[in-house]
Amino acid sequence: MNDDKSKMIGLQSIEFIKPPYIIAEGSIVGKKEGEGPLGLYFDKIEEDSFLGKGTWEEAESELMRQAVKIVMEKSGLKKEDVRYLIGGDLLSQLIATSFGIEEFDIPLFGIYGACSTMGEAISIGAILVEGGFADKVLAITSSHYASAEKQFRFPLNYANQRPSCASWTVTGSGAVIISKDKPESNEEVKIIIRGITTGKVVDYGIKDAMNMGAAMAPAAYETIYQNFKDFAIEPDYYDKIITGDLGAVGKDILNDLLKEKGYDASEQLMDCGVEIYNAEQQDTHAGGSGCGCSAATFSSYIIKQLKDQSWKRVLFVPTGALLSPVSFNIGNAVPGIAHAVMVESVE
């Protein structure tokens, strides 16, 4: 028997033979996200932007800690049941993750994929579970508006103007538990991970770090295009193709690029960054961004739609901009990366 080979499909994809289940999801967001259009779907909305901590970094760790607690409670699992925790965030050396999950005593794979991290975490989690290396894996990411501003831009109270294409980092965290076995509850609908398409680093030469949607759109385009090719499917295979944080500008570019390659996905395309805020009323310009944007939207709104079977097949494509303040200062462009996860609801 040669199962291993048959799981690889096309150039960059995996089709799971025994698709892993997503058995629980948990989300926590800040006040602004709670006031947005998806407010009703999140498990917890935190009014205090410091979450009772003294610093922004610790506040972000607290977001993660609470997201883990929520998802563990919802799944009814004990921490010994979870084999690995796969997580990452935007702060240098992943300090939000390491300090946030420390107390749970679960083996950790810390990963960095900028804002695409949730796609990367779910992908690796699914591989571990389906490959028989773990029975339950927790995938988690977070971001915090203030810690991201401090790390990548300016101190919070510095007086500057944001361009209209700029995005707003989501304060939030989302976590899911990926399992070899079906959920124990009697729910008829189960969420499975059918396959993944892993993205490459894609650089179309955008140097404006404030226009991250444009920097990441080519990465999303290449990954989604490859997913169609590898699985020999058309956009209408999916009910929704949901990118992470392209925002209004990036979403239009992605649509244009796909159309030019003969894939009209305008019906299916959706972006977590566009959905999570009401851009006009909440003054968020192009939309939400950050690891927490796609993670919190996925582990609330998207899973809910799948459970209700409003959507049956979703391609979840978190997008990341691979820049650092140093890469920007030494004159590098802003490359993007996007990881696609095929999530489906089955009865």
Partner 1 sequence: MASKAVKKIVNEKDKNIRKELYNKYVKEITPKHNWLLNLLKAFLIGGLISLLGQIFINIYLALGADMELAATYNSLSLILLSVVLTGLGIYPKLAKFGGAGCVVPITGFANSVAAPAIEYKKEGQIFGIGCKIFTISGPVILYGIFSSWLLGLIYYIYEFMIKK
Which residues are near partner 1 by CB under 8 A? 54-55, 150, 154-165, 203-207, 211, 214, 218, 249, 252-253, 256-257, 259-261, 333
The residue whose two tokens read 């209700």 is: 308
* Min separation Cβ 209 and partner 1, Å: 13
* Min separation Cβ 56 and partner 1, Å: 9
Query: Which of 150/312 has CB closer to partner 1?
Result: 150
Query: Which of 132/325 has CB closer to partner 1?
Result: 325
Q: How far apart are CA 193 and CA 212, in angstroms?
A: 28
Query: Which of 18/207 has CB closer to partner 1?
Result: 207
* Min separation Cβ 214 and partner 1, Å: 4
Query: Which of 93/161 has CB closer to partner 1?
Result: 161
Query: Which of 63/118 has CB closer to partner 1?
Result: 63
* Min separation Cβ 152 and partner 1, Å: 13
* Min separation Cβ 163 and partner 1, Å: 7
Query: Which of 62/239 has CB closer to partner 1?
Result: 62
* Min separation Cβ 108 and partner 1, Å: 25
Query: Which of 182/259 has CB closer to partner 1?
Result: 259
* Min separation Cβ 260 and partner 1, Å: 5
Residue 317 in tokens: 């494509």
